[in-house]
């Protein structure tokens, strides 16, 4: 797959607006607690548009063959869902009808299949990961056995030439951590600056810039805990390690 760094700005802006914008101090990602059905539907349509218009045209013949059918099936699911989800302001997803719950779960599974095929070290994967996030949380809210944490992607690529605070913000859902946890940034174990259920903020290690002469990706690993149970029975258990690839630009000479 071709890796382009100049996707249409309007697509990028629209996707980021779905989950909230990042302020310069990396603390303004809008929490997903205010998620509504309308936000989910916008995210689903944006995901499909990115897959159809930005990803498929840049695939080789073999890649296109495997993904084209998945995207077609996703569009059929979206079409089938159009008579439903009329209450766009609904925030309690357990109040959805059985048919609506089933549709959201099936669309979520289809999006995850598509996301799993797109190379992680690409702007395309970053965009669909952002677009998928609202639906992911809605599907998790329907689970009776707890919420699975997700470290989704970065909010903005790290550019050492323009940053004012040297921070990177990762976004996700249900990001619960024990008090003294560490993350791994390009092989460097460190503590984050900020963490809440929807984001992890850390200061980018300047040492990692020494080997970067062109836009490249740095792997970040973390192991958020999983919430099980509800109310008094709610507890957190250790979760599997997850990773994301953060796009990093070189220092200008």
Q: What is the structure's pLDDT at 33? A: 47
Strands 183-185 and 188-190: antiparallel
Cβ(37)–Cβ(95) below 8 Å: no
Which is more confidently placed, 32 or 133? Answer: 133
**How many CA atoms, within 13 angstroms, populate the side-chain half-sphere of residue 205?**
17
Cβ(165)–Cβ(202) below 8 Å: no
How distant is the alpha carbon of residue 209 from its chain centre? 24
The yes-or-no verdict on residue 227 having pLDDT over 90 is no
The yes-or-no verdict on residue 216 having pLDDT over 50 is yes
Band of pLDDT at residue 34, cut at 50, 70 and 90:
low
Task: From 202, 122, 131, 192, select the one nearest 165 (Cα to Cα).
Answer: 202
Band of pLDDT at residue 213, cut at 50, 70 and 90:
very high
Query: 222 has which bridge partners?
Result: 242
Band of pLDDT at residue 239, cut at 50, 70 and 90:
confident
Q: What is the structure's pLDDT at 60? A: 80
Architecture of domain 145-253: Sandwich (2.60)
The yes-or-no verdict on residue 115 having pLDDT over 90 is yes
The yes-or-no verdict on residue 4 having pLDDT over 60 is no
pTM above 0.85, yes or no: no
Q: What is the structure's pLDDT at 157? A: 97
Q: What is the structure's pLDDT at 231? A: 73
């Amino acid at each position: 797959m071709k890796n382009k760094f100049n996707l249409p700005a309007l697509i990028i802006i629209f996707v980021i607006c779905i989950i909230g914008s990042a302020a310069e101090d990396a603390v303004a990602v809008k929490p997903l607690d205010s998620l509504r059905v309308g936000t989910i539907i916008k995210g689903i349509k944006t995901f499909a548009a990115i897959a159809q218009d930005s990803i498929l045209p840049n695939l080789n013949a073999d890649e296109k063959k495997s993904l084209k059918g998945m995207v077609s099936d996703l569009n059929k699911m979206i079409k089938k869902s159009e008579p439903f989800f009329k209450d766009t302001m609904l925030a309690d997803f357990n109040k959805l009808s059985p048919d609506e719950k089933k549709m959201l779960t099936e669309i979520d599974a289809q999006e995850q299949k598509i996301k799993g095929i797109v190379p992680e070290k690409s702007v395309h994967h970053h965009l669909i990961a952002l677009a998928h996030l609202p639906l992911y949380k809605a599907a998790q809210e329907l689970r009776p056995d707890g919420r699975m944490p997700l470290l989704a992607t970065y909010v903005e690529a790290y550019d050492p030439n323009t940053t004012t605070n040297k921070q990177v913000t990762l976004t996700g859902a249900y990001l619960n951590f024990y008090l003294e946890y560490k993350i791994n940034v390009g092989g460097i174990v460190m503590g984050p600056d900020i963490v809440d259920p929807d984001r992890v903020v850390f200061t980018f290690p300047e040492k990692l810039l020494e080997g970067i002469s062109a836009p490249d990706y740095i792997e970040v690993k973390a192991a958020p805990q999983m919430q099980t149970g509800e109310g008094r029975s709610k507890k957190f258990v250790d979760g599997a390690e997850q990773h994301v690839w953060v796009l990093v630009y070189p220092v200008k000479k």
